[in-house]
Structure 1
Amino acid sequence: MVRPENRPRSRILVVKVIASQIRKGNIVDLDGKLYVVLNAESFHPGKGTPTTQIDMRRISDGVKTQQRYKTTDQVERAHVEDHEFSYLYQDGDGFHFMNQENYEQLQVPADVVGDYAPYLQEGMIVSLAIHEGIAVSMEIPQKVTLEITDTEPVVKGQTASGSFKPAMLSNGVRTMVPTHIVTGTRVVVNTADGSYVERAKD
C-alpha cells in the first residue's frame, strides 16, 4: 500500500472552457468539488439552443450527477497531474498498476477503468490522472494487438474488399473483421470501440 505521506500530490490548475469542449475523462470543478466526466454529448436541435449534457461522478464520494449546459456556457475544467503507470494484474479489489517513476503500486477501482478493462495487457503503459493519491481517470493506448479466437471460415468468392464478418477477440470482445481474416490471426483494434484497424505486422 502507498502510505499517505508518500502519495503523489496533485497540483490542480483550473481553466474555463466552453461546455462543448468537455470530453470523457476530463475533470471539472463544480462549486469547489471535483468531478470526473463519464460522458459528454452535445445536442444541436433544428430549433432552439444547442446544449451539452455532461454525466459526472464526484471524486470525493462517488456520487453521480448529470448537468446540462448551453454549448457556449463556461465550465471550469481542472487539470490534474497525469502519471505513467504499467498494468500489473486484476483481483477482487480492483486493478493494480505500478508507477513508472517511483515503482509504487496503485489500486484503481473498476469504475475508473470502465470499458477499457478488456484491453488491459500485462505491462501496458497507461496514463492515470492522480488526485490526492487516487486515480480519477485513465487513458490507454489507442490501439492494441489481439488474436482472433473465433470467426467464420473463408468462403471462396467472399474475398471482396469491404465485406466484413463477426469475430471474437482473445479478450472476449466481439468485433467485425474483413472476410479474409481467419481464426488465429493477430489483428490491431481500436480500444475506444473494439473496431478492426488492420492485420498485425508481427
Structure 2
Amino acid sequence: MKIDGNAIRPGNVIEHKGGLWRAVKIAHTQPGKGGAYLQVELKNIKDGTKQNERFRSSEKVERAILEQKDYQYLYADGPMHTFMDEDTYEQISMSDEDLGDDAVFLQSGMKVTIEMYQEKPLGVALPEKVILEVVETEPALKGQTVSSSYKPATLENGLRIGVPPFIKQGERIIVTTAEREYVSRAD
C-alpha cells in the first residue's frame, strides 16, 4: 500500500531500497530554505542495521502490511526454535539469527506473537515480563541497605542483570524483556 512520505509513523514497516525497514524515530523538519520533510530513522528488519532517510510529502513509499498471529513456543533444536500456531497446530521454525537477542527469553509453552510478511516470519513479540531463576549471585553484605546499588546476578538463561542485595541464589524473579531489568520477586 503506497503512502505519502510524510505519513510514516514509528513502528511502520516500509519497503525501501530492496528491503524491509521499520521506522524507529521520526522528526518533522521545516528548514528556512526549501520544502519541509520528514527525517526518519529506519532499522533493517533482516540484519538490524540503521539508517536515516529524508522523505518529502510528494514522495510515495510502499508500506508493508504485516500479519500478526499468536503462536506457542515449543522447543529449541540447536540454533532452530519451533513454534506452533494455536489455531491450526501448524509448526514453523525460526533461527537464532532471525530472533536476535530475544531468543534468550523463550521458554517452553510461552505465548508469543509472530509478525509475518508474505507468509514468511520476520520477528517475535515476547511478553512484557518473564519469570526467571537466579542461578548465581553474590551474598548480601552485612550493613547493605535496600536502597543501595544493585549486585550482579546470572539468570537461568545465561543473562546477567543487576538485582537488589536481598535477592539470593535460587530465587525466582520477574524481568522485563525489553529493558532486561529486574522488576520484583516472583510469587
Mark yes or no: TM-score above 0.5.
yes
Distance 1:162 1:64, change over 3 A: closer
Q: Once the two structures are aligned, what percentage of the paired residues are identical?
A: 35
- In the alignment, which of 9, 15, 22 is matched to residue 21 of structure 1? 9
Q: Amino acid of the residue matched to residue 35 of structure 1?
A: L
Aligned-pair RMSD on alpha carbons? 3.3
Q: What is the rounded CA distance, in whole Å, between the counterparts of 1:14 and 1:137 in structure 2?
A: 23
1:165 aligns with 2:131: no
Q: Which moved more, 1:175-184 or 1:14-23?
A: 14-23
Q: Tell whether 2:122 aligns with 1:136.
A: yes
In the TM superposition, residue 21 of structure 1 has moved relative to its aligned partner by 3.2
Q: Following superposition, which runs of at least 4 residues in structure 1 exceed 6 angstroms of deviation?
A: 47-50, 71-74
Q: Where in structure 2 are the equivalents of 1:181-192 lying within 5 Å? A: 181-192=167-178
Quote the Cα distance in structure 2 between the aligned partners of 1:138 and 1:19. 25
Aligned to 1:56, which of 44, 61, 64?
Answer: 44
2:108 to 97, 117, 122: 122
1:112 is aligned to 2:98: yes
Distance 2:6 2:159 in 1: 35
Aligned to 1:83: 69
Taking a change above 3 Å as real, the CA distance of residues 65 and 186 of structure 1, as seen in their structure-2 partners, is: closer
Q: Which runs of 5+ in 1 are unaligned?
A: 1-12
The structure-2 alpha-carbon separation of the partners of 1:166 and 1:22, relative to structure 1 and needing over 3 Å to count, comes to same
Q: What is the CA–CA distance in structure 2 between the aligned matches of 1:198 and 1:72, rounded to whole Å?
A: 46
Return the alpha-carbon distance in structure 1 between the equivalents of residues 47 and 150 of structure 2. 41
* Partner deviation per Cα, 1:118-154 (whole Å, 9 max, x = no partner): 1000010100012232211210101000011111101
- Is the Cα contact below 8 Å between 1:27 and 1:78 reproduced in 2? yes
Decide whether aligned partners of structure 1 residues 72 and 199 sit closer, same or farther in structure 2, where only a CA change above 3 A counts.
Answer: farther
Structure 1 residues 98 and 174, CA gap change in structure 2 (3 angstroms): same
Residues 1:17 and 1:150: Cα distance change in structure 2 (over 3 Å):
farther
User: Residue in 2 aligned with 1:151?
Assistant: 137
Q: Aligned pairs, how many?
A: 179
Q: Is the 8 A contact 1:85 1:100 kept in 2?
A: yes
Q: Measure, in 2, the Cα distance between the counterparts of 1:174 and 1:105.
A: 31
**3-state SS of 1:21 partner:** coil
Structure 1 residue 69 corresponds to structure 2 residue 53: yes
TM-score when normalising by structure 2: 0.79
